[in-house]
Structure 1
């Protein structure tokens, strides 16, 4: 008889990547604007490229398993943070996994929906029950709905803020209120993969929530604003005890040498990262104004993407690959990543 597998894994499906990934693998995407995956249109910063070149001769050696230098620059970039508050991982996905697997077995995880597709998958892998809470009618994040869904079975709440794929967000005072109202034994994971693209001047220093509360983790990534998606590196800011336990369960050497040196160099050049994020914010506004002028429904976004009611197949006719809305819970819509100026010009041309 073959081995018996856990029944909760039966519903899992293999990840289906965006069409652009498949086309690129087949050599068919070179002439298209690739606006599917919320990647930064620009390459890594020159400082990160130089760090990568310098690291290549050491590729035969294992890197620093503790990721000490990167932890240090992350702590220096976030006021009040010590290196003992910093989690690291193979993308922020591993940070989420390591935080969740610290919790008692079973129980429920509450999160808004539609949101990042990883959340229900993590629940299945860890033997937890997902509790998706529908977004509000205007696609806003349902803070009250989240709190109402919390029971004695709740182990964690995950809040993608800004939310992918809607682009909507909770203001910082709303996030603080949510954190204050949650029971102390419920972990709040604030997934801030897109935080650099928030143009709300009051949304600053959100990481302080993890320093002020024993049940809050703030997860961030180098895949978006830093332009290092291909290297898979993320980090979290957490209470010292939680960060310590997360390091105990982290897979050894999960952050490779290239990821460590590139992310460190990029964080040290964060003023340049901020300038790139400012470009994305400005051109996000330009795209949204164009959607409005074309009488297209869209969701005002705080991410590096905009959800618009315009078919992916129509964009493809104009040489633009976007994420099909049906895969994200928005049939008939498309999620359009904000690209460089030329790519965004093509988007505007396609809808005109």
Structure 2
């Protein structure tokens, strides 16, 4: 008998995953397709090339990729702080806003604590919560596809540690007004961290959503969460950030995976902030296309809520959803389907958007609304 057999015993046990991990659903990314004719509109990413300044910054930083990045991301945090009028100590960064959100939940939630959020929403929310051993509390959207803030306030218990407000909402695109968020904050305990997730804020029309920074300055339990993945076009580099109190921000830095934000990502983000006017011009084109698509879809008979993201949302379920997704597949257009709820379609270039409109027009012609 070998020493390994003696150590293992007659019935060898194998390592097993934690129960919370074994039961987790896998995050499903937007589908990818091969071929020049495929319109990949399932992921909410920018369909414009990276900003030239960001490309140049990455090329210059690439020559130093043998060195670890600045773990504290001081230069990037200073640039974000200057951009938003906050202090360096109030800024925490991570690998995308989802990475920062994981730091938030890890930093605030013990096993059995609760995180409240609207549903349907960003699919990573319940995964991150359950991974931390906390309990996700899903509150259904209201009839206008937005957050039901009264119901969310009623869902808060003594175990609630974090509330997530996604505005504009993913996947529906519906924002939460400033007044509604303010009233909600007045109703929620001050020891509950309210995270205003603004991944799509650059695409929102002025005044459609909350002035999150003003709310943060008034309510210390507010945390503003943003990303460079969407409007800034850095989805492939993974860099996001939070604005929160210095004490919470320090905790987020402690819970971060060491060196998670690469030097390339840090320099690209700085360059992108410096190229704000060019980014804004690209955002204006997306908003123009979003408005054009919404107007055309209304003419076709689709009942949509006005989206403030870089996407449109169509409510559908059952056979209707399956038929709609099949129609897009046959047209080589990849969209994001949410079983039982609907389909999200990213706004891309004019030609791709026209293809989407043709598919929806044909589907509407055969559908009774």
C-alpha change, 1:74 and 1:205, in structure 2 (3 Å) is farther
Residues 1:103 and 2:108 aligned together = yes
Say which of 148, 157, 162 aligns to 1:151. 157
2:91 paired with 1:93: no
Aligned to 2:274: 268
The C-alpha deviation readout for 1:308-352, integer Å capped at 9, x for no partner, is 2571221222232111232xx41xx32110001221122223233
- Please point out which of 28, 48, 57 is paired with 2:54: 48
Which residue does the alignment assign to 2:27?
15
Q: Give how far 1:303 is off.
A: 0.8
Residue 75 of structure 2 is matched in structure 1 by: 69
CA contact (8 A) 1:211 1:238 kept: no
Aligned equivalents of 1:116, 1:15: Cα separation in 2: 10
Distance in 1, Cα, partners of 2:60 & 2:305: 43
CA drift at 1:207? 2.1
Among 243, 247, 250, the residue aligned to 2:253: 247
Deviations 1:243-283 (A, max 9, x none): 11111221111100111111110011112212211211111
Residues 1:319 and 2:325 aligned together? no
TM-score, scaled to structure 1? 0.92
Partner of 2:4: none
Q: Secondary structure at the match of 1:229?
A: coil
SS in 1 for 2:293: helix
Say if 2:196 and 2:212, in contact at 8 Å, map to a contact too: no
Provide the aligned C-alpha RMSD in A.
1.6
Gap regions ≥5 residues in structure 1: none
Contact 1:213–1:239 under 8 Å retained in 2: no
Deviates more, 1:203-212 or 1:99-108: 203-212
* Aligned equivalent of 1:283: 289
* Aligned equivalents of 2:243, 2:119: Cα separation in 1: 24
Inter-partner Cα distance in structure 2 for 1:178 and 1:204: 12
Larger Rg: 1 or 2?
Answer: 2
* 1:70-219 → structure 2 map (5 Å cutoff): 70-79=76-85, 81-105=86-110, 106-201=112-207, 203=209, 205-219=211-225
Distance 1:242 1:14 in 2: 29
Task: Count the aligned residue pairs.
Answer: 341
Shift of the alpha carbon at 1:200? 3.6
TM-score, normalization: structure 2? 0.88
Inter-partner Cα distance in structure 2 for 1:146 and 1:84: 30
